[in-house]
């Protein structure tokens, strides 16, 4: 009996954890390159998921086309977000850039309400997985989809950052924008690229989370904040750790639901976030501010 | 805004009399002229205005964007709903105690968070706001959970009697605004206020000049929290009903939004922005569900079309690429 609960916990924890991992990757890409905390990250997921929903209503998509459509739509949303927030205000005070992403988050939520209404929408499952049972453990279709999307895009992302010119430019700007500029990298292009990548990852996360929890106009902030918690758990520095932070957060949440009920889960999660934020060393953040 | 080496003006407060009169006298006239039933809606805008003013202590003076204002307001409301309802006669003692409790809580929350920097502070205070809502939701025996709780007893003060009625509460909220404005003006011209403004302009330089940044900012944070809590307590007994979604993230976000639209660090423009824009937006029925979008666009417009005055800081003089 206990084993059954545990298997269920691991299953649902991994399903949400993969989504948090994807959000956390997008979050830390943007944060590392431009030192901006992107409040509208969750709205990227929301709008890309809703766009994909409309697409599935109109056409019947095969899995590869669905992934490609979600990716392209996410890239576009990321570029739009960059153009309307950071691209406008590169030389402004960081607080102003932060507030612009807050404004973008509210505006996009309004767009979602106007275009898709307030009712939760169910995104159909698009990848042809069937649930797997391994001894006492089992993995549902949702979990396998989320894990496949997350691990696949994480691996591709790490290859991209390591082996392409664009990826190296992003990493150079993350280390030192001035030195990167002197080497001929245009930091603006690198920032735009990280926003587009964050949009792409959010679109895949939307594809993974849509069949699990449905898409609702007010889910953006919650999912974005979970991504932030996961990125903080992972420490922002390496892709693998950040992704693992997401998985850990998902499993922890599932465990909290099992042990103390769903209401206190969120409070405990955010309390952990605050404690970690306060306790982790702030060397890098302070140099970034000074 | 005076810097450290200005010669002190003869009396900084006398300069503030004219704008104060220009702001408060029309509002007093409005309170006397409007019919009592239409004051119900105005009072809700006034509650938001008090929250904006409270947020101005930590953002306008200290340069810290906080999203926990709604939580402090709700804390005041719930504490007073629990304590004052139990013994309404002792409100003259318990109300100040509640304010002090929330003040200390706000200061304690802010103290370790000071080192986080703008973005992380906003995220951490967002966490505080969500934790408050969740704790209220998960204690249904005490707080009524998501259904909210009904308050039957008005606040009773010795010598004044029970606080009831739309018009009386209109003037109570106006009095709170006046109290907050007085505190703000006084603080701006004291050592504490100047230390706060130094932290806002350049945290590193302020710390190098011997300002204990966590301490002064915690004080400002706590003051704002206490003011919000008092407004929340008054509102709870006035409305007769409170639920967690009155004090959730939307209240915090709206307070931040209108403060930024009006210009943090200024006293009256954010308050005017709240009262005018909220009245307009609540009148505009055709907006309907798109109100969130209107808020977002207003904020973006305020940020984009007004040069550097909206948010504190001189960092824009230095190119971004050289600032790391």
CB contact under 8 Å between B134 and A267, yes or no, is: yes
CB contact under 8 Å between B321 and A105, yes or no, is: no
Q: Which pLDDT score is estimated for B305?
A: 73
Which residues have a Cβ under 8 Å from the Cβ of B195 and sit 6 or more positions away? B206, B211, B216
CB contact under 8 Å between B128 and A274, yes or no, is: yes
Mark which residues 215-244 of B lie under 8 Å from A by CB.
Answer: none
Q: Which pLDDT score is estimated for B1?
A: 45
B174-185: average pLDDT: 92
The overall average pLDDT reported for chain A is 86
Contact A122, A211 (CB under 8 A): yes
The overall average pLDDT reported for chain B is 83
Provide the whole-model pTM. Answer: 0.87
B263 pLDDT above the threshold of 90: no
Q: Which pLDDT score is estimated for B12?
A: 60
Higher pLDDT, A289 or B34: B34
- Mark out the alpha helices in chain B (DSSP H runs): 12-15, 17-33, 39-56, 69-86, 91-113, 118-137, 140-143, 166-188, 191-201, 203-208, 213-239, 249-262, 268-283, 291-305
Residue A115: closest CA among A50, A48, A170: A50
List the beta bridge partners of residue B241.
Answer: B150
Q: Which pLDDT score is estimated for B10?
A: 54
Chain B contact for A46, CB < 8 A?
Answer: no
Q: Which pLDDT score is estimated for B306?
A: 62
Q: Determine how many CB atoms are found less than 10 A away from the CB of residue B285.
A: 6
Helix, coil or strand: residue B210: coil
CB contact under 8 Å between A107 and B118, yes or no, is: no
Q: Which pLDDT score is estimated for B220?
A: 92
User: Encoding tokens for residue B94?
Assistant: 């318990």
Q: Which pLDDT score is estimated for B286?
A: 62
B117-129: average pLDDT: 88
Which segment, B27-36, B94-103, B256-265, is predicted with the most confidence on average? B94-103
Mark which residues 3-42 of B lie under 8 Å from A by CB.
Answer: none
Percent of chain A whose predicted confidence (pLDDT) is above 90? 35
Chain A contact for B190, CB < 8 A?
Answer: no
CB contact under 8 Å between B293 and A111, yes or no, is: yes
Chain A contact for B310, CB < 8 A?
Answer: yes
Could you tell me the domains of chain A? Answer: 1-279 (1.10.3470)
A64-69: average pLDDT: 88
Chain A contact for B142, CB < 8 A?
Answer: no
Higher pLDDT, A258 or A21: A21
Of A180-189, B83-92, B234-243, B311-320, the one with minimum mean pLDDT is B311-320
Q: Which pLDDT score is estimated for A220?
A: 85
Of A97-101, A242-246, A260-264, B276-280, the one with minimum mean pLDDT is A260-264
B11 pLDDT above the threshold of 70: no
B7 pLDDT above the threshold of 70: no
Confidence of residue B313 (pLDDT cuts 50, 70, 90): very low
CB contact under 8 Å between A99 and B130, yes or no, is: no
Q: Which pLDDT score is estimated for A155?
A: 93
CB contact under 8 Å between B124 and A273, yes or no, is: yes
From A185's Cα to the closest Cα of chain B, the distance in A is: 12
Task: Tell me which residue in B130, B203, B293 faces A270 most closely, judged by beta carbons.
Answer: B130
Chain A residues whose beta carbon lies within 8 Å of the beta carbon of residue B313: 93, 95
Confidence of residue B285 (pLDDT cuts 50, 70, 90): low
CB contact under 8 Å between B130 and A271, yes or no, is: no
- ipTM here: 0.87
């Amino acid at each position: 009996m206990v084993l059954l609960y545990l298997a269920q916990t691991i299953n649902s924890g991994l399903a949400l954890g993969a989504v948090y991992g994807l959000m956390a990757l997008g979050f830390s890409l943007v944060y590392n390159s431009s030192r901006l905390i992107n409040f509208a990250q969750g709205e990227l997921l929301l709008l890309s998921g809703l766009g994909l929903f409309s697409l599935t209503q109109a056409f019947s998509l095969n899995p590869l086309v669905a992934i490609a459509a979600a990716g392209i739509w996410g890239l576009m949303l990321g570029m739009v977000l960059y153009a309307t927030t950071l691209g406008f205000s590169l030389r402004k005070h960081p607080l102003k850039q932060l507030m612009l992403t807050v404004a973008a988050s509210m505006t996009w939520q309004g767009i979602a309400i106007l275009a898709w209404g307030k009712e939760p929408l169910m995104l159909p499952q698009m990848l042809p997985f069937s649930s797997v049972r391994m001894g006492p453990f089992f993995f549902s279709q949702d979990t396998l989809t989320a894990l496949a999307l997350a691990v696949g895009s994480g691996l591709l992302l790490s290859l991209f950052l390591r082996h392409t010119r664009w990826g190296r430019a992003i990493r150079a700007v993350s280390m030192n924008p001035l030195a990167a500029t002197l080497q001929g990298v245009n930091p603006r292009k690198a920032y735009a690229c990280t926003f587009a990548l964050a949009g792409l990852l959010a679109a895949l996360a939307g594809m993974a989370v849509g069949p699990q929890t449905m898409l609702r106009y007010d889910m953006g902030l919650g999912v974005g904040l979970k991504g932030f918690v996961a990125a903080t758990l992972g420490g922002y520095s390496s892709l693998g750790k950040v992704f693992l932070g997401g998985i850990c957060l998902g499993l922890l949440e599932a465990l909290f639901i099992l042990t103390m009920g769903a209401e206190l889960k969120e409070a405990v999660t955010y309390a952990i976030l605050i404690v970690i934020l306060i306790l982790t060393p702030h060397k890098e953040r302070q140099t970034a501010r000074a | 805004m005076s810097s450290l080496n200005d010669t002190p003006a003869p009396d900084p407060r006398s300069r503030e009399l004219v704008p104060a009169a220009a702001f408060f006298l029309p509002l007093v006239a409005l309170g006397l002229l409007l019919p009592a039933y239409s004051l119900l809606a105005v009072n809700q805008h006034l509650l938001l205005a008090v929250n904006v003013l409270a947020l101005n202590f930590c953002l306008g003076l200290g340069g810290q964007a906080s999203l926990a204002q709604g939580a402090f307001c709700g804390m005041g409301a719930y504490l007073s709903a629990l304590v004052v309802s139990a013994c309404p006669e002792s409100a003259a003692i318990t109300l100040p105690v509640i304010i002090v409790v929330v003040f200390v809580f706000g200061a304690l929350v802010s103290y370790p968070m000071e080192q986080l920097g703008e973005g992380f502070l906003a995220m951490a205070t967002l966490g505080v706001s969500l934790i408050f809502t969740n704790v209220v939701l998960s204690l249904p025996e005490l707080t009524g959970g998501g259904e909210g709780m009904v308050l039957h007893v008005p606040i009773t003060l010795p010598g004044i009697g029970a606080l009831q009625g739309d018009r009386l509460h209109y003037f109570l909220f106006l009095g709170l605004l006046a109290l907050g404005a007085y505190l703000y003006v006084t603080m701006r011209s004291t050592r504490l206020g100047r230390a706060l403004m130094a932290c806002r302009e350049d945290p590193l330089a302020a710390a190098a000049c011997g300002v204990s940044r966590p301490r002064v900012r915690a004080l400002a944070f706590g003051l704002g929290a206490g003011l919000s809590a008092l407004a929340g307590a008054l509102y709870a007994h006035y409305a007769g009903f409170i639920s967690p979604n009155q004090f959730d993230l939307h209240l915090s976000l709206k307070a931040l939004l209108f403060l930024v639209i009006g210009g943090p660090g200024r006293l009256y423009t954010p308050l005017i922005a709240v009262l005018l824009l909220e009245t307009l937006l609540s009148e505009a029925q055709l907006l309907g569900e798109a109100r969130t979008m209107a808020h977002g666009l207003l904020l973006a417009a305020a940020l984009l079309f007004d040069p550097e005055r909206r948010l504190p800081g001189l960092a824009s003089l230095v190119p971004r690429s050289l600032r790391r």
